[in-house]
Amino acid sequence: MKGVSDNNAPQKLNTKGSKKDLKKPLQVLQLNKKDSQNEKSDKSFEESQKEHEIKLAPIEKEKEFNPKRESLEERKIHSTNHEDSFNQVEQNLNNLKKPIFEEDQRSSSFERTVDDFDFDENEFLAALNENEPIGLEGETIKGKIIALESDGLYIDIGGKAPGYMPKKECGLGVITNFKEKFPIGMEMEVLVIKEQNADGMVTVSARALILRKSWERISMIAKNGELINVLVNGFNRGGLTCDVEGLRGFIPRSQLEDGLNYQSFVNKTLKVAFLEVNPDTRKLVLSEKKATLISKFEKLSLGQLIEGKVLAVKPYGFFIDLGGASGLLHQSSITKGTIRDLREIFIEGEIIKALITEIDLEKGRIGLDTALLENSPGELLIEKEKVMLEAFERAQKTKTLFNNDNN
């Protein structure tokens, strides 16, 4: 009806939500509203968590691939944990106190010295000497035979283990009566040719010692210019072979008096001198011609006046023939004056007189001098014939210069 108010009629409300929510009380509506907000917050948290996991996924994979890699924060945490544990252990050790007994209090003031350990220097040195290896290579040792084997023998040399000497090192040549020549208990001198092995055993040789002594004797004979007799035992294209003190010597064909028929000297004895003696290369060269020359040297003496022919003129002097031997008149021994040309003094084939001032048997060399025959420096250059005629009388005045050398 028109004009009638409609206030008593229920008003229409624009409400959100369902019809059920309209029937609920206000408190319930507020609680539901909070629940919906919580659900939204939970959903947003889950979404952010998933995004964070997606971002961390490559890092986690890298950690799985390289487990040693740690973040800076994890390293700091681990280091602080280690420091805390170390400090805790140190504090616990400091808190521990060792109980001090009466005996410890008495001995705390006592200091031990070296003598308290019974240290003896002599005993220490003796122990070192006992452990010192015996038998260095090249060393000569005396020992006693203690055992024989088919391939060698054993010698007691005073070491931890005996020395072993192979059969081929027992002597020169072939040994037939081995057991008779080397009875047990026989003392002998040997040379170490091989040092200790793992068992402490050294290898020794009697043959090597014989050869060493042979080289030493031959070197001394050669130095003194002595002559020896050798038995020729073979030949080859270059010359003859012989045995010298157990060593193999060689005589070249050029050093034989008769080099054409050198094969005929086999099984004959020759007197020879040494041309070359070299133990390192085991080279031993002999000469029959040098032996003949040295034999002539034996008739010569220092200060003796000789007469000879000029064989050759060299820039450094003259070679003079002394009847099978040659002497050298060096330019420094010709005159006390000044020489312009050697050929102005002597020429080849000229007979001269000179004094013997040097005799070297080892090298086969004779040194001559004419300057000692001069009464004044350079006299030989001006009055050569007078000096040569009075050479014998002038040589008598110089004998006192060589008396001490001859004695």
Quick: pLDDT tens for 326-341.
889 999 999 988 888 8
Average pLDDT of the segment spanning 172-184 = 85
Nearest to 345 by CA among 311, 370, 325, 372: 370
Assigned domain for 359 exists: yes
Token pair 């290896």 in the structure block, residue:
133
Assigned domain for 250 exists: yes
Query: Residue 300's pLDDT is what?
Result: 83
Query: Residue 89's pLDDT is what?
Result: 54
Assigned domain for 79 exists: no
What's the pLDDT band for 120 if we cut at 50, 70, 90? low
Query: Residue 352's pLDDT is what?
Result: 92
| 167 and 230 part of one domain | no
DSSP-assigned beta bridge partners for residue 141 = 190
Query: Residue 66's pLDDT is what?
Result: 47
Query: Residue 161's pLDDT is what?
Result: 77
| Lowest pLDDT segment from 36-40, 117-121, 141-145, 245-249 | 36-40
Beta strand 269-278 with 317-321 is unpaired
Query: Residue 398's pLDDT is what?
Result: 86
252-275: per-residue pLDDT in tens? 999 998 888 888 999 999 999 999
Mean of the per-residue pLDDT values for the chain?
Answer: 75
Token pair 């040295």 in the structure block, residue:
294
Residue type, 372: L
| Residue 11 pLDDT > 60 | no
Query: Residue 261's pLDDT is what?
Result: 86
| 360 and 266 part of one domain | no
| Residue 139 pLDDT > 60 | yes
What's the pLDDT band for 46 if we cut at 50, 70, 90? low
Query: What are the φ/ψ torsions at residue 285 (nearest 5 degrees)?
Result: -115, 135
| Lowest pLDDT segment from 50-59, 189-198, 393-402 | 50-59
360-377: per-residue pLDDT in tens? 876 778 899 999 999 999
Query: Residue 184's pLDDT is what?
Result: 92
Grouping H, G, I as helix, E, B as strand and the rest as coil, residue 205 is strand
Grouping H, G, I as helix, E, B as strand and the rest as coil, residue 384 is helix
Query: Residue 29's pLDDT is what?
Result: 45
Higher pLDDT, 121 or 61: 121
What's the pLDDT band for 173 if we cut at 50, 70, 90? confident
Domain finish residue from 210, 237, 270: 210
pTM of the model: 0.51
What's the pLDDT band for 24 if we cut at 50, 70, 90? very low
Assigned domain for 145 exists: yes
Is residue 204 within 8 A of residue 135, CB to CB? The reply is yes
DSSP-assigned beta bridge partners for residue 25 = none
Query: Residue 72's pLDDT is what?
Result: 47
Assigned domain for 135 exists: no
Instruction: Give how many domains the chain has, as a whole number.
Output: 3
Assigned domain for 205 exists: yes
Higher pLDDT, 400 or 153: 153
Per DSSP, 12 falls in state P
Higher pLDDT, 62 or 281: 281
Domain finish residue from 154, 187, 210: 210
| 400 and 363 part of one domain | yes
Query: Residue 49's pLDDT is what?
Result: 58
Distance CA 301, CA 358 (A): 9
Neighbour tally for 223: CB within 10 Å: 12
Higher pLDDT, 368 or 48: 368
Assigned domain for 51 exists: no
**Which residue range forms the structural domain that includes residue 248?**
225-293
Is residue 213 within 8 A of residue 244, CB to CB? The reply is no
Per DSSP, 331 falls in state G
Query: Residue 9's pLDDT is what?
Result: 45
Query: Residue 298's pLDDT is what?
Result: 77
Token representation of residue 324: 């099978």
Is residue 394 within 8 A of residue 369, CB to CB? The reply is no
Query: Residue 22's pLDDT is what?
Result: 46
| 304 and 399 part of one domain | yes
Beta strand 365-369 with 326-330 is parallel
Query: Residue 99's pLDDT is what?
Result: 53
In CATH, what number is assigned to the domain containing residue 325?
2.40.50.140
